[in-house]
Structure formats: C-alpha cells, structure tokens
Chain A
Amino acid sequence: QMQLVQSGAEVKKPGSSVNISCEASGDTFTYRYLHWLRQAPGQAPEWMGWITPFNGYSHNAQKFQDRVTFTRDTPMTTVYMHLSSLRSDDTAMYFCATEDGSNSFDTWGPGTLVTVSS
C-alpha cells in the first residue's frame, strides 16, 4: 500500500518561494499522475496541477500561470512543487495525491502547511 510523505511546514515572507517535496513509500508512483492541491483554511480544496514522474510531463492550472513548477528526481521516487512570488492568500495546506483508474484522487499525502506572512 503506497503512502505519500511530504516535507514539513514552512513559514515564508511575501514575494519569496517555497519548495515542497512528496515521496512515495511502500510502492511507486512512477507511472501514475501525481497531483498537487491546496486548501486554504475553511475553504474547499483547489487543484493546482499534475506531473507524471516517469517522463516529467506536467500541467498546471492557468490560475497559477508561471508561478508554479512541478519536477521530479531521477529515481522518480520524489516529486517537488515550487511556488514563487508568494502572497498572503497562498497560505494553505498543500497536498500531493495520486490519481487512480477511476479519475479520483485516491492516495493523499498528509499535507504541508505553508504560511505566508510578513
């Protein structure tokens, strides 16, 4: 049974960047879509985009335009999300999640809290 392990909480200044990692344990996500979502306090989840670890192809929601980048390491066991030009409204819990054959996000990481504050 695959589990996703995410990096720890971050506190960032406005205008700075954050890098969050998501590592698979117990199985591999190499050939699956790996999605990133975020959830601001008291709000619904928001989908940010995906990466396919085996070839590094990625797609992000237009809302984030050039602010977000998804990458993976060569062993394809860890993926990363880089979000730049942080603003206070980027304060949220950030999740990675795999997509199963029924198009649902079936395995989720525990989340990484990013707080943006001056």
Chain B
Amino acid sequence: DIQMTQSPASVSAFVGDGVTMTCRASQDINNHVVWYQQKPGKAPKSLISGASYLQSGVPSRFSGSGSGTDFTLTISSLQPEDSATYYCQQYNGSPRTFGGGTKVEIK
C-alpha cells in the first residue's frame, strides 16, 4: 500500500496568517492527490484534486502544489472557518490511502 505522511500533525496560527502543510507519498504518485477538510462531527469535504485543481466553490485562499512524492496545501490568509483537520489522499493506486491529518487551530 502507498503510505501518505502528513506534517505537521497540528498547527496554530492567527487569522490572516498563511499556513502550509505537507504530504509525502511513499512512492511516486504523479499528481494523484486530493486534499480534504474535515470539521468535527462532519464528513470530509474535498478542496483540491489532481494536487492543484480547486474544487468548485472552494475559496481561492486554498491552493495545492506538488507532484511525484511531495505535496503541499497552503491557506494564504487563515479565516476562523478554516479551523479543521486536513487530510491528503492518493488515488494513484489501490487501496486509496489517506495521510494522518493536520489539525489547524486558530490562535
């Protein structure tokens, strides 16, 4: 199985700050990554697919980059509603696998 490793496990920042989190795959997965946002008690919501393509309706402060084994999700100007856990997930191979998540908190 392809392992997805996210870092940091958690990050705390002020409203308006930029926040960056990373996801590393255990093997080359091209750009076959989806980023999800999950709030407590809710199902995940897809933000970005194909490593860098913003899903419809997702604010432009979210952006993704990377290919191969290293991927990044950036929130350019953190908003209170961005407090959540973010997961990366690969779809290059089966089984589809998720990273362990990065929890974003507002200071």
- Residue ranges of A at the interface with B (Cβ–Cβ < 8 Å): 44-47, 59, 61-63, 95, 97, 100, 102-106, 108-111
- Which residue in A46, A47, A97, A104 is a CB contact (below 8 Å) of B49? A104
Q: In whole Å, how far is A108's beta carbon from the nearest beta carbon of chain B?
A: 4
Q: Main SS of chain B's interface residues? A: loop
Report yes or no: B49 in contact with A102, Cβ–Cβ below 8 A. yes
Q: A45-B44, A104-B36, A108-B45 are in contact. List 4 more A-B contacts (CB 8 A).
A: A44-B99, A46-B98, A102-B34, A109-B43
- Which residue in A61, A62, A102, A108 is a CB contact (below 8 Å) of B44? A108
The residues in B between 38 and 72 inclusive whose CB is less than 8 angstroms from any CB of A are 43-46, 49-50, 53, 55
Select from chain B the residue with minimum beta-carbon distance to A99.
B91
Can you list 7 A-B contacts with CB-CB less than 8 angstroms, sorted by A residue number? A46-B98, A47-B89, A59-B94, A95-B43, A103-B49, A105-B36, A109-B43
A103 to B101, CA, bound (A): 19
Report yes or no: B53 in contact with A111, Cβ–Cβ below 8 A. no
- Which residue in A47, A59, A100, A104 is a CB contact (below 8 Å) of B97? A47
Q: In whole Å, how far is A93's beta carbon from the nearest beta carbon of chain B?
A: 9
- Which residue in A61, A102, A108, A111 is a CB contact (below 8 Å) of B94? A61
Q: In whole Å, how far is B10's beta carbon from the nearest beta carbon of chain A?
A: 13
Report yes or no: B55 in contact with A102, Cβ–Cβ below 8 A. yes
Q: In whole Å, how far is B17's beta carbon from the nearest beta carbon of chain A?
A: 25
A47: chain B residues at CB < 8 Å are: 89, 95-98
Report yes or no: B46 in contact with A104, Cβ–Cβ below 8 A. yes
Known: A45-B87, A97-B43. A104 touches B96 (CB 8 A): no
Report yes or no: B101 in contact with A44, Cβ–Cβ below 8 A. yes
B96: chain A residues at CB < 8 Å are: 47
A95 to B89, CA, bound (A): 16
B94: chain A residues at CB < 8 Å are: 59, 61
Select from chain A the residue with minimum beta-carbon distance to B85.
A44
Report yes or no: B34 in contact with A104, Cβ–Cβ below 8 A. yes
Select from chain B the residue with minimum beta-carbon distance to A45.
B98
